[in-house]
Amino acid sequence: MFGACRALILAVVALLASGPAMAEDGYDLWLRYRPLADSAQARYRPLATAIAAPQDDPSIRIAAAELHRGLTGLLRADVPASADAIAPGAILLGTGGDRRIAALGLPLSTLGREGYLIRSVRVDGKPATVIAANSGVGVLYGAFHLLRLVQTGDPIDRIDIRSVPKVELRLLNHWDNLDRSVERGYAGQSIWDWWKLPDITNPRYVDYARANASIGINGTVLNNVNAKADSLTAPYIAKAAKLADIFRPYGIRVYLSARWSAPIEISGLKTADPLDPAVAAWWKAKADEIYAAIPDFGGFLVKANSEGQPGPQDYHRSHADGANMLAAAVKPHGGIVMWRAFVYAHENPDDRARQAYDEFKPLDGRFADNVIVQVKNGAIDFQPREPFHPLFGAMPKTPLMMEFQITKEYLGFATHLVYLGALFEETLASDTFAKGKGSTVARVIDGSLEGHARTGMAGVANIGVDRNWTGSQFDQANWYAFGRLAWDPEASARRIAADWAGMTFSTDPAFVAPVVDMMMRSREAVVDYMTPLGLHHLMATGHHYGPGPWVDDLERPDWNPVYYHRADAQGIGFDRTKTGSNAVAQYAPPVARQLGDIRTVPERDLLWFHHVRWDHRMASGRILWDELVTRYDRGVAEVAAMRARWATLAPYVDADRHADVMRFLAVQAREAQWWRDASIAYFATFARRPLPAGSPPPAHDLDYYKALRFPYAPGN
């Protein structure tokens, strides 16, 4: 008995000693600050002996506290923060107004409000590292950068870093409802506890702000774009104001989604016509009321005349009429209006992919200077792969901001491991050819292509009250990558993945290299097992989780998967060339030529733009049908490879998070197979050809897949 007990104790001790320290649940995100290896601690300690920071700026106080917390944890040494004298190896924080910083003669003038410098310097003859900026928030960003370098093992001696954000508005869009449900949210309820606000706040609000500041996010739209007018009533303004107070020192401004019909719903006006003076006066008074409570309120985000939301077109006015009226209301306070271009109407028989362009392109140059038009990355709706939206590059007189979806509505929710950095990067690197070669989407977004100072990138948040914030460990990487790419849309998704993996799990190269490889391939895997070769919008009704390519009975044609894949006895795919909807003509001529020709269109976009015969010969030498099946098989095989790879990485990750990811990958493997089998069973009814050699038949017949129902899946 005693022997068994002792053996058990020894086993537990051995486990604790061998595993990477304590149990973790993911709450700490990439800001874990667990002790570095002894050799690394020894290397960094002389370079981080103390933090010298002025105490009068709240953001600098936060920066000093974060450095203290981070360095103390990483280096297992007390790294005190004070306003006092410089010791050798001190980290000095401050702005140009600070005497010690001014004495260093640093080139701060080109940094703007949010940029920063991190440099090895000598202060009073002693070696030190300075983090300097033109604002406290710039210093805070620099502090997080320095911490990242230490977390990932990068050298900080002889350091000389200058970083300035290329994009002005780096925002999260929360699709959070006032009852705490989250539209397309898969990480539990909304973190905003509207009921208890403003009197009672949650410590999570501060951790949310820290995490966002650490990746440069500087704004948050608190409520769903499918907005309730109540968000604009006095009690809810007070609640939003409380959040704004918490976020302010972290450099995060608060914005609200505005419901177009609010003047009618809140105050009983007879109309919401943007050209009606009473309506304009109502919004002006509302803006004044909001700014009285939130002096740095960012402005409004608007979804109008889209998917049943009210808007100016209800009064035969244009999107520009609507946006400009709201813009006039916030303008005296320095606010902006982000007007979404996600519009389509089933009454319009045109290809849905064409509609936003057709609606907005004629409005180029007609928006007020504090309006920015927010455009989704692709013309349909956050699919696993979409060609870039044709509006990018097509509205040179109007600033356009990017809208990515971080929450994975169409990519397996939080359950599937899909690193979106690869998707974001692919879109941003796409060449619009609007002003010749090199006119990338990134350059439209950062304003450099068309000379816009007002620039922005929004990400639909994947955050909820789940302990790990995002519903799965790996979905944290998508929040992280969004922030880093919003700061620099030309940054490398691979490099960002490496930073994230190092900070979140382990910096051991034997861990980072395979994990980054797995993350980078994960996006292609989901494309392969859900929507290969340019297929899109094939998900089941309501929840957008599983496959439903056969769905053809929804009230709006453009909600049915059959509308998008157009499979028939001859072939499959949506003809968007001259012989079809000609959506391809919305791109600049070189792009339109490439995409519009079946011989030159990249295979990844083939069925997005062409209806292709089942026996069309592909680059591989296979016919289309065989290639399609091969891609489905490849996606399933890739998930199996991800599982096998993750299993080998147990020595580098704490047991809890390792097992957690393992369980999610098991679900993903099962569901990749489901997507593949259901899709092949269905498309085979058109192709009427055998499966290529070695490709197993679907596990069930088509009726089985069609009969599956998930009435309680999130988002239904």
Positions that interact with ligand GCV (CB under 6 A): 175, 183-184, 225-226, 303, 307, 342, 381, 409
Active site residue 654: no
- Eight-state DSSP code of residue 41: H
Token pair 């591989």 is at which residue? 620
CB of 405 to ligand GCV, least distance (A): 8
Which residue in 168, 351, 409, 575 is the catalytic one?
409
Q: How many other CB atoms sit within 10 Å of the CB of residue 328?
A: 17
Question: Strands 400-405, 90-95: parallel, antiparallel or unpaired by DSSP?
Answer: unpaired
Given the complex with ligand GCV, which of 309 and 472 has the nearer CB atom?
Answer: 309
When the beta carbons of 223 and 668 are compared against ligand GCV, the nearer one is 223
What residues contact 245, with CB distance under 8 A and at least 6 apart?
A: none
Of 273, 381, 446, 475, which residue is the catalytic one? Answer: 381
CB of 459 to ligand GCV, least distance (A): 12
In the complex, the smallest distance separating the C-beta of residue 184 from ligand GCV, rounded to whole angstroms, is 5
- Of 166 and 303, CB closest to ligand GCV: 303
Alpha-carbon torsion 417, 423, 424, 425, what sign?
positive
Cβ-Cβ contacts under 8 Å for 36 (sequence gap 6 or more)? 44, 74, 75, 150, 153
Distance CA 209, CA 200 (A): 17
Q: CB of residue 387 vs ligand GCV: minimum separation in angstroms?
A: 18
Active site residue 288: no
Q: Which of 256, 264, 258 is nearest to 294 (CA)?
A: 256
- 255 beta partners: 221
Judge whether 324 and 368 are in contact, CB under 8 Å. Answer: yes
Sequence-ordered list of residues with C-beta below 8 angstroms from that of 401, at least 6 positions apart, any chain: 169, 338, 372, 373, 374, 375, 445, 455, 456, 457, 458
Q: Which is nearer to ligand GCV, 52 or 423 (CB)?
A: 423
Of 307, 350, 358, 490, which is the active-site residue? 307
Count CA within 13 A, CB hemisphere, residue 175.
22
CB 715 to ligand GCV: min, Å: 7
Q: How far is the CB of 637 from ligand GCV (least distance, A)?
A: 30
Which strand (E) or helix (H) includes residue 672?
helix 655-687
Structure token digits, residue 435 = 């002003």
CB 260 within 8 A of CB 312: yes
Alpha-carbon gap, residue 87 to 91, rounded angstroms: 9
CA distance readout (Å), 704 to 36, 695, 707, 713:
52, 20, 5, 19
CB of 544 to ligand GCV, least distance (A): 6
Question: Tell me, what DSSP letter sits at residue 696?
Answer: P
Q: Please, what is the minimum distance in Å from the beta carbon of residue 307 to ligand GCV?
A: 6
CB of 208 or CB of 404, closer to ligand GCV: 404
Which CA distances in Å does 657 have to 27, 411, 650?
11, 22, 9
Amino acid 534 reads: G
Identity of the residue numbered 443: R
Judged by beta carbon, residue 100 or residue 259, the one nearer ligand GCV is 259
Task: Name which of 171, 258, 198 is nearest 223 in CA terms.
Answer: 258
Nearer to ligand GCV, 225 or 379 (CB): 225
Please confirm whether the linkage preceding 198 is cis (ω < 30° from 0).
Answer: yes
For residues 378 and 386, is the Cβ–Cβ distance under 8 A? yes
Q: How far is the CB of 585 from ligand GCV (least distance, A)?
A: 25
- In whole angstroms, give the CA distance from residue 119 to residue 133: 12
492 vs 716, beta carbon nearer ligand GCV = 716
Q: Which residues pair with 93 in a beta bridge?
A: 131
Please indicate whether residue 381 is annotated as part of the active site: yes
Residue whose CB is less far from ligand GCV, 544 or 631: 544
Catalytic residues: 307, 381, 409
